[in-house]
Amino acid sequence: MTTNRAGILSTICLSLLLATAVFAQTGQKVAKIETEGLQALTTETVIATSGLKIGDTFSVEAIDAAAERLLSSGLFKKVGYRTRNLSGNVTITFQLEEAKGQLSPVVFDNFIWFTDEELAAAIKREVPSFNGSAPDIGNTNDEIKKALQNLLAEHKLPGQVEYNLTEHEHLFRVAGVPMKICTLHFPGAQSVPEEKLIEATRSSMDLEYSRQSAQTFPKYGLYPIYRERGQLRASFGEPVARPATKDGCEGVDLTIPVNEGAIYSWVKAEWFGNQVLTAKELDDALGMKPGEVANGKKFDTGLKEVQNAYGKHGHIQLRVNPTAEFDDGASKVSFKIAINEGPQYRMGTVEFKGFPAGDVATLTKRWSLKSGDVYDRSYAGEFLRSNAGEMMSRIAQERLSQRKPVPNLGLNENLNDQTLTVNLVIELKN
């Protein structure tokens, strides 16, 4: 009986102790949250991400959950904490080590109903630490995706939010919604008619709207139009996409501002680093004339002719670095062009493959660029035109009579950087 009474008393005492501990814990409040070890992030970001709030009732379970949220966010490599209790007021100190070099920008690809500011505000409601970037690890991007999906639902908009981590960014886009570009606008277009820009865009750009495509296409698909006209400083603003509302097209209304800039005239080229060719020879190869429109397309063709001119002298690894110098007051442009001529190569061997044996003997006999001669890159093309034209015509006729495809000629330069020689393979490809 004594043993039973002792057991009961022990049970009662233990119950009283547990009740006291629970009461003490539930009576404690979070009075302060501090951090240690931060470098790039702020204490405010840590508190927002943890989910804890000043004045909350303190519990070990809550602080453990907060620490887990911090760790799973991807912002931190290590998370620990300690507490200090003063008359029921608890100070929590998080001991943190930030994850380094693992943040990438967040990009919204086709959320045509909202501005970036509206999207960011919606994310911050659910991901308080959001500042335009996100960790490449952890669950922060899942939370961003959820916040964006909730935003669509709030506005009764269709579509599913998709997420992809690319090489440089976190890309979020909406799938399952018509995104065909219905209408295009290029405010600022004057010297080039807007209709021409619209036509070039429709013929070359993917008309399924993507912000990335709308940002990059003008540089490659529209800028060359201006560059050929001498408007070397033409530029394009940030694209603005909205839901299309006209002509019964369900899709996107896209606006890309244009700053056409001045039409520049050519002044001169200044050459640096050239030894094999003179400045006049280079000017002649470039073909640009003082006072004419600084046609960017013609300039590019001229630089290729400079490459060809050096190729005739065995300098086949030429490097050309042009730098424009603008006189905006007079709408004129000059170019400083640095030349790295590279080593001079000589002729090695030539091999004719795929030709009938008799033709190989004939071609080898006629080839006059001998081993050890300065390599002339233009020689092979001229040789084939003048010495293999009739031969190629005969072979083509034979193939056609046999209902076989007409062969192509391939030319492969094999460079030996040790001996500075070029071994050529000229192949008749079936």
* pLDDT bucket at 136, cuts 50 / 70 / 90: confident
The answer to whether position 8 is within a domain reads no
Contact yes or no for 60/118 (Cβ under 8 A): no
pLDDT score for 313: 97
Percent of the chain whose predicted confidence (pLDDT) is above 70: 94
Q: Is the pLDDT of residue 25 over 80?
A: no
Q: Which of 292, 322, 340 is the last residue of a domain?
A: 340
pLDDT score for 3: 32
Provide the residue range defining the domain that includes 124: 103-175
pLDDT score for 101: 65
- Across the range 275-288, mean pLDDT stands at 97
Q: Is the pLDDT of residue 210 over 50?
A: yes
The answer to whether position 13 is within a domain reads no
- Across the range 172-195, mean pLDDT stands at 95
Domain match, 107 and 93 both: no
Domain match, 418 and 350 both: yes
CA distances to 349, 356, 361, 370 from 365, rounded to whole Å, are: 13, 14, 6, 11
Q: Which is more confidently placed, 355 or 305?
A: 305
Among 10-14, 265-269, 343-347, 381-385, the least confident range: 10-14
pLDDT score for 332: 98
Q: Is the pLDDT of residue 173 over 90?
A: yes
The answer to whether position 18 is within a domain reads no
pLDDT score for 236: 97
DSSP 265-334: EEEEEEEES--SS-HHHHHHHH---TTSB--HHHHHHHHHHHHHHHHTTT--S-EEEEEEEEETTTTEEE
Domain match, 406 and 350 both: yes
- Among 62, 66, 70, which residue's Cα sits nearest to residue 41? 70
Among 133-137, 270-274, 320-324, the least confident range: 133-137
Q: Which of 52, 79, 98 is the last residue of a domain?
A: 98
Mean pLDDT of all residues belonging to the chain? 89
Domain match, 373 and 421 both: yes
The answer to whether position 17 is within a domain reads no
Domain match, 330 and 365 both: no
Percent of the chain whose predicted confidence (pLDDT) is above 90: 64
Domain match, 352 and 335 both: no
pLDDT score for 299: 98
Q: Which of 340, 373, 393 is the last residue of a domain?
A: 340
The answer to whether position 3 is within a domain reads no
pLDDT score for 26: 53
pLDDT score for 21: 41
Range among 124-133, 371-380, 395-404 with highest mean pLDDT value: 371-380
CA distances to 142, 188, 422 from 311, rounded to whole Å, are: 56, 43, 12
**pLDDT, tens digit, 9 for 90 and up, residues 29-76:** 998 999 998 887 888 888 888 889 898 899 899 999 888 888 888 888
Domain match, 149 and 189 both: no
Q: Which CATH number characterizes residue 54's domain? A: 3.10.20.310
**pLDDT, tens digit, 9 for 90 and up, residues 411-421:** 999 999 999 99
Q: Is the pLDDT of residue 226 over 60?
A: yes
Contact yes or no for 306/282 (Cβ under 8 A): yes
- Across the range 270-288, mean pLDDT stands at 97
Tokens of 138: 């952890």
pLDDT score for 167: 85
In single-letter form, the type of residue at position 146 comes to K
Measured CA to CA, the distance from residue 15 to residue 21 in angstroms comes to 10
pLDDT score for 77: 83
E-only strand ranges, 166-303? 170-175, 181-185, 235-236, 240-243, 252-255, 258-259, 265-272
Measured CA to CA, the distance from residue 180 to residue 250 in angstroms comes to 8
The answer to whether position 7 is within a domain reads no
Domain match, 351 and 423 both: yes
- Across the range 288-312, mean pLDDT stands at 98
Give the up-direction half-sphere exposure of residue 428: CA atoms within 13 A in the CB hemisphere: 21
- Across the range 93-105, mean pLDDT stands at 85
258-279: burial string, b at 16+ Cβ within 10 Å, e else: bebbbebbbbebebeebebbee
* pLDDT bucket at 218, cuts 50 / 70 / 90: very high
**Total domains in the fold of the chain:** 5
Q: Is the pLDDT of residue 11 over 50?
A: no
The answer to whether position 5 is within a domain reads no
Domain match, 222 and 286 both: no
Domain match, 94 and 107 both: no
* pLDDT bucket at 223, cuts 50 / 70 / 90: very high
The answer to whether position 199 is within a domain reads yes
**pLDDT, tens digit, 9 for 90 and up, residues 246-262:** 777 889 999 999 999 99
